[in-house]
Structure 1
Amino acid sequence: MTTPQFQITRRQAIAGLGATTAVTLGGCTTIAAGEGTIAASAQTRSTQFMLEKVAYNLLQHEPERATGLGVDTGDHSGLRGKLEDQSPEGQAAYAAQLKTDLQIIRSWPREGLDAEHITNLEVVQSGYETALAGFALPYGDVPVGSWRTAPYVVIQNVGSYLDLPRFMGSTHPLADVEDAEAYLARLEAVPGVFAGELERMKQARAMGVVPPDFLLAKAVSQMKATLGDLMQGGGSLVDPLRTAGATLPGARKWATEGEKITLEKVAPALEAQLAELFKEQTVATGDPGMRERPFGEEWYSWALRSSTTTSKTPDEIHRQGLAELEELHGKMDPILREIGYTTGSVGERMQALSQDPRYKFAEGDPGRAEIMEFINERVDWIKAQMPRAFNTLVDPNMEIRRLPPAEEPGAPGAYGGAGSKDGSIPGRMWINLHTTDLHRKYDLADLTYHETIPGHVWEGEYSNRLPLIRSILAFNPFSEGWGLYAEQLADELGAYDDFKVGRLGYLQSLAFRACRMVVDTGLHSKGWSRERAVNFFVERNGSKKQEVASEVDRYCSWPGQATGYKLGHSEIVSQRSRAQTELGGKYDFKAFNDAVILGGNVPMDVLAKNVDRYIGSATGA
């Protein structure tokens, strides 16, 4: 039985937050909301209420997420003027709240609940247990239902000096007077945020935990750029208020006040962080991995648990990455031979291909415009294919934006995600255009599918219709595994049927993620140098050196995170193979995809249970 096609919007989703939502993860799907729907049992209603309370308990400690989801409204509108407390005391209070709510989740009665609500409880329990294990470590920045495992509180791609200008400029709304007042309240809070991070930086240095010198060099350069921006009349932190001045009465006055706050309070607080980075540079070494740092093995073990939602060891992940890389190169070799690249390893031939001028974009702004046009054309194509892959369709509110130039040197080639739960903030693909040489015409399409449709933006639309706590919690191997599975779907839907070189880009993308499993574990568990890590990508996979140098630096500051991509993809594909084998002729491609994506963002063991339910529904069991 297949699911009838229908549309879900975020506005419908948030309207139904307090209503009944029933989803069966088999072939047939029903979403019910509002009066007149089937009445939920008393226990179901109490479970929904409890989970929403747990969600807002979390958002009290991460109010920026409430704004990003569009749920800082009504009784929770006070969150719009707050920022996360980054001090040691603030982080301890966050952990204490998680511990209290985890005890409630663990003891909550399951009897009488349907599979979806049991899944919701299992997901929260898993996410909170992992986060609390991270808070128990003596240093670092712990993701709660997120992906950034960061031992260094401030570095080239971690820290409020990067996060807040982007958040204030792209996410904080400025539609009315209340929004502007909340904006100013957040500006007033920024110095305290910087001071809290600074205290944790100093505590880590006192333990001997100092970032590698090459990361510090990038961080110093980027923080100087941010500081220089702020000194220009408040820069990007005040620009949104200036822009709002054209349409929002009184905004010019607020811009003047924002400039004063930024120059007199925010900039000095950031200068103090910069001074700490200078002190760290005096004692830093070039050792890249966690193995060389205090409690490094323990910290990395937790980072792998958080990043993969499995108990796999560094050695197991390393070996799996090598095996999958070999398999993928076996698929790339015949295509390379067919297009005339016959000499050398797969990596060497992909390096030669990357220098072919036919697949490069123009330099500078003309090339940047060409890249944006290319991305938008691919989005239009893949949107039209979605009815062939899913029964349950969404229509994402989405935009393509360039990363802020100050962030680009330490950032990946692109990243993306869904918009707010209420639809007021669009899903976005952020593209790194520091240089057009980061991208090729044979690999940019694949990157687009990963970040937008049917990748992160598409998947996030489904997560946004779930209870609030499920929209908040995201698990790295599902998020990134789905992104790679989205690339596979695009290939299966014909994206490269008339462009074989594009299929090489897709396969190289998968191979790149297999390399990540090898390199991340090499850096943090096997004593690899930064140079060896970069060369592994270049020599074994034919990756562009400029791109992977930044990638390797990212693995040094986000240990473990890079391992989740291919591991998650392999698990989704394994579950699909299992469903095909067990169902035979009853297997349905679109129904399987629905079962995975409607189940929401889950740890890998819960994914298997969702597929079990799909198989049971298809067989009538």
Structure 2
Amino acid sequence: MKRITPNHLASQPWRNALIFFLWLPAFSPAVCQAFSGGQRNDLDSRLAEQNALFARYDKGEKERDIDSFPDRSLRSIAREHQENESLRKRLAAISTDGFAEQDLLSHEVLLRELDQESRDYDLKLYELPLAQGEGIYQSLTELAAGDFQSTADYSDYLKNLRDIPRVLRQTEDLARLGIKDDVLPARYLLEKVVAACDAIIEEDPFLKPINTFPASISSHDRDRMTAQVTEVVNDEVIPAYKRFRDFVKSDYAPHARSGIGLSSLPRGAEMYQNAIREQTTTNMTPEEIHNLGLREVARIEGLLQDVAHRAGYASLASYRAVLKADPKYRPSSPEQIVDDFRHYVSAMEPHLPELFEEYPKTLLTVEAGSLTDPSFGTHIVVGPADGSKPGRVIVAVANFSQRSLISDETQAYHEGVPGHELQVTIQQRLKGLPKFRSDILNTAYVEGWAVYAEALGKEIGLFQDPASDYGRLNLELMRAVRLVVDTGINSYGWTRAQAVSYFRESGAADEPSLQAEIDRYVNWPAQSLGYKIGQLKFIELRERARSKLGPNFDIRKYHEEVLSAGSLPLDLLEGRVDRWIERQDSLDAHRAHS
């Protein structure tokens, strides 16, 4: 796709107009004004047409989001595809000559989003409804984690509960199409889906909202809501989960692929390259990414060796063995893990002014995730854009005795501040942009920023515990290992045993984490690649700016520039930073001569 360069950003109509004026004899001021006005009117007309298309796209996205779980029938998916194809054709026909930078970025971002949706549709990825992340069966349980403050909140919850049977039924319908078209997930993962559904049925998390009520709700309404929620959960939700579990176990899993990677599917290579393009916003090949991973693994292992030597150990292996055996770094309860995260989030917050000129002031909350699901990963639930509620860091605590506290500081900065919570909140609050610019989250940008943000703690004097700094580097090592293992599984045909072996030998993760990581590369191919690739781009651009601006480089202004346009494909981010460097360089030169 064409990269937006400074020349592309220049006002082409005005450049043509200048040539025209130099060639013509002098006109009266009235004639010149009429010519200029015509150019302005044309620009305004094209911008108005583009903004109308943006509004149309945002309206369609909003309509799909009105319900917590919109219609995902095949007919609805096909209709959405046709609408997007029509919109894309009209948007591409609009000339962007003379557009301001943000208007250009909006144009290019939406074109790429629509192109990606079209490629996904052509590859029939909608027939893999239990891939691409956690799975709807798991996401549905998060309904019960909402903020219930009024009877209206409970009424909305009842409506969502009644939608669950329909959502699971449509998921089953799409999976049956995948059986027919040989677009299938790995069999062993479906066995895990069955086990996860069994756990949900046994735990019955959907009743949690009626265990406690806010004081503002009367006893009469409490009794009424308790009876209604209990009835819907027992008579509709749990039976729907049982039917869905039985379908996966008896009908879906027997047809699933035995190979774990996308390479075992008929169009697997095409699917994987498409996933790479989506998740990294680059055209890198699996081989290029695999080799980058090998180089990064070797580089970071060298840094870890240095840490071990400074700690007085002859080898990294011996240092790791000591850390692994030290009870100081083994949690004694899920609460200890949560408290660890709270400590580090609180430690970072006072330092934010050193790194950012503007940043969200709403404090974070930290809470435990699933106590029983080992595949549950630590993640952020970002607060609303208006700042009325805090963001929430949900911490993985299952199998706590097998976990380590060593990487908690790094993960706290990654998920909280200055990582996801800060970046996504800033994006949500951007003014003067189409709504999709607030909503689209490119993995390479969002996760790349979060990995980049982890090391900012080191730069401002945190990571005081040498073991915690080891944990930072070891977690970065895991992001490099991902490049090797994800491509190994999905392009090189690695077995799960090969993937586990490589991961274990790297020492980059504890056993529960590495098992969940490998499941993730199978379930969500290429998603893990964006972390390291994005991080390297943020570092590259910062060092480019530092090199060209010298003593005038201000890290706070660099962060403002990379965060103030939202989640961008990496090449568009690079173009934006390059233009900022040129402007800053020109300003500095002007000041030096004034």
Report the TM range for the smaller structure's normalisation. Answer: 0.7 to 0.9
| Equivalent pair of 1:350/1:543 in contact (CA under 8 Å) | no
| Equivalent pair of 1:513/1:566 in contact (CA under 8 Å) | yes
Task: Name the residue aligned to 1:18.
Answer: none
Question: What secondary structure sits across from 1:392 in the alignment?
Answer: coil
Seen in structure 2, the aligned counterparts of structure 1 residues 245 and 378 have a Cα distance that, compared at 3 Å, is closer
Question: What secondary structure sits across from 1:393 in the alignment?
Answer: coil
Cα deviation code 1:224-256 (max 9, x no counterpart):
121234xxxxx4324325544753353532332
Q: What is the alpha-carbon distance in structure 2 between the residues aligned to residue 43 and residue 305 of structure 1?
A: 30
Aligned-residue offset at 1:203: 1.4
| Equivalent pair of 1:187/1:261 in contact (CA under 8 Å) | yes
Q: What is the alpha-carbon distance in structure 2 between the residues aligned to residue 522 and residue 357 of structure 1?
A: 33
Cα deviation code 1:409-437 (max 9, x no counterpart):
2223x122422223344322111100224
| Equivalent pair of 2:201/2:238 in contact (CA under 8 Å) | yes
Which of 201, 205, 229 aligns to 1:236? It is 205
| Equivalent pair of 1:156/1:219 in contact (CA under 8 Å) | no
Task: Name the residue aligned to 1:508.
Answer: 474
Task: Name the residue aligned to 2:422.
Answer: 458
Aligned-residue offset at 1:257: 2.5
Which of 322, 341, 352 aligns to 2:321? It is 352
Would you say 1:269 and 2:255 are equivalent positions?
A: no
Task: Name the residue aligned to 1:125.
Answer: 111
Which of 143, 162, 177 aligns to 2:138? It is 162
Aligned-residue offset at 1:561: 0.4
| Equivalent pair of 1:349/1:542 in contact (CA under 8 Å) | no
Task: Name the residue aligned to 1:28.
Answer: none
Letter in 2 for 1:137: L
Seen in structure 2, the aligned counterparts of structure 1 residues 409 and 543 have a Cα distance that, compared at 3 Å, is closer
Question: What secondary structure sits across from 1:620 in the alignment?
Answer: helix
Choose between structure 1 and 2: higher helix proportion: 2
Cα deviation code 1:140-168 (max 9, x no counterpart):
47xxxxxxxxxx322695332210121x1
Task: Name the residue aligned to 1:536.
Answer: 502
Would you say 1:322 and 2:294 are equivalent positions?
A: yes
Q: What is the alpha-carbon distance in structure 1 between the residues aligned to residue 585 and residue 406 of structure 2?
A: 41
Task: Name the residue aligned to 1:258.
Answer: 229
Task: Name the residue aligned to 2:186.
Answer: 212
| Equivalent pair of 1:350/1:541 in contact (CA under 8 Å) | no
| Equivalent pair of 1:361/1:371 in contact (CA under 8 Å) | no
| Equivalent pair of 2:534/2:570 in contact (CA under 8 Å) | yes
Cα RMSD over matched residues? 2.5
More displaced, 586-595 or 285-294? 285-294
Q: What is the alpha-carbon distance in structure 2 between the residues aligned to residue 453 and residue 197 of structure 1?
A: 35
Aligned-residue offset at 1:104: 4.0
Q: What is the alpha-carbon distance in structure 2 between the residues aligned to residue 96 and residue 422 of structure 1?
A: 34
Aligned-residue offset at 1:526: 0.4
| Equivalent pair of 2:499/2:518 in contact (CA under 8 Å) | yes
Cα deviation code 1:341-382 (max 9, x no counterpart):
313xx4x3464144131542333xxx3222222211111111
Task: Name the residue aligned to 2:453.
Answer: 486
Task: Name the residue aligned to 2:360.
Answer: 394
Question: What secondary structure sits across from 2:125 in the alignment?
Answer: coil
Cα deviation code 1:282-334 (max 9, x no counterpart):
34464211111232111111111111011111001000111111111111111
Letter in 2 for 1:302: N
Q: What is the alpha-carbon distance in structure 2 between the residues aligned to residue 190 and residue 175 of structure 1?
A: 22
Aligned-residue offset at 1:42: 8.1
Seen in structure 2, the aligned counterparts of structure 1 residues 177 and 502 have a Cα distance that, compared at 3 Å, is closer
Seen in structure 2, the aligned counterparts of structure 1 residues 100 and 182 have a Cα distance that, compared at 3 Å, is farther
More displaced, 110-119 or 383-392? 110-119
More displaced, 102-111 or 559-568? 102-111
Q: What is the alpha-carbon distance in structure 2 between the residues aligned to residue 493 and residue 53 of structure 1?
A: 45
TM-score (norm 1): 0.81
Which of 272, 277, 285 aligns to 1:300? It is 272
Which of 402, 415, 432 aligns to 2:396? It is 432
Question: What secondary structure sits across from 1:430 in the alignment?
Answer: strand
Which of 71, 87, 91 aligns to 1:105? It is 91
| Equivalent pair of 2:341/2:408 in contact (CA under 8 Å) | yes
Aligned-residue offset at 1:385: 0.9
Q: Which 5+ residue runs of structure 2 have no aligned equivalent? A: 1-42, 588-594
Aligned-residue offset at 1:388: 0.9
Which of 130, 145, 167 aligns to 1:193? It is 167
| Equivalent pair of 2:382/2:421 in contact (CA under 8 Å) | yes
| Equivalent pair of 2:150/2:216 in contact (CA under 8 Å) | no
Report how many residues are paired: 539
Q: What is the alpha-carbon distance in structure 2 between the residues aligned to residue 95 and residue 359 of structure 1?
A: 54
Which of 332, 348, 361 aligns to 2:330? It is 361
Question: What secondary structure sits across from 2:578 in the alignment?
Answer: helix
Task: Name the residue aligned to 1:75.
Answer: none
Task: Name the residue aligned to 2:530.
Answer: 564
Q: What is the alpha-carbon distance in structure 2 between the residues aligned to residue 422 and residue 100 of structure 1?
A: 34
Aligned-residue offset at 1:52: 4.2
Letter in 1 for 2:227: T
Seen in structure 2, the aligned counterparts of structure 1 residues 289 and 270 have a Cα distance that, compared at 3 Å, is same
Task: Name the residue aligned to 2:177.
Answer: 203
Q: What is the alpha-carbon distance in structure 1 between the residues aligned to residue 355 and residue 68 of structure 2?
A: 41
Q: What is the alpha-carbon distance in structure 1 between the residues aligned to residue 91 and residue 217 of structure 2?
A: 44
Would you say 1:526 and 2:517 are equivalent positions?
A: no
Cα deviation code 1:244-281 (max 9, x no counterpart):
47533535323322333333333333222212211233
| Equivalent pair of 2:129/2:175 in contact (CA under 8 Å) | yes
Larger RCO: 1 or 2 (CA < 8 Å, sep 6+): 1
Which of 475, 481, 484 aligns to 2:442? It is 475
More displaced, 236-245 or 585-594? 236-245
Q: What is the alpha-carbon distance in structure 1 between the residues aligned to residue 580 and residue 417 of structure 2?
A: 23
Between Structure 1 and Structure 2, whose CA radius of gyration is higher? 2
Question: What secondary structure sits across from 2:374 in the alignment?
Answer: helix
Question: What secondary structure sits across from 1:410 in the alignment?
Answer: coil
Letter in 2 for 1:123: V
Task: Name the residue aligned to 2:57.
Answer: 54
| Equivalent pair of 1:156/1:410 in contact (CA under 8 Å) | no
Q: What is the alpha-carbon distance in structure 2 between the residues aligned to residue 610 and residue 571 of structure 1?
A: 13
Q: What is the alpha-carbon distance in structure 1 between the residues aligned to residue 369 and residue 132 of structure 2?
A: 15
Cα deviation code 1:193-247 (max 9, x no counterpart):
1110000111112233443333122211110121234xxxxx4324325544753
TM-score (norm 2): 0.85
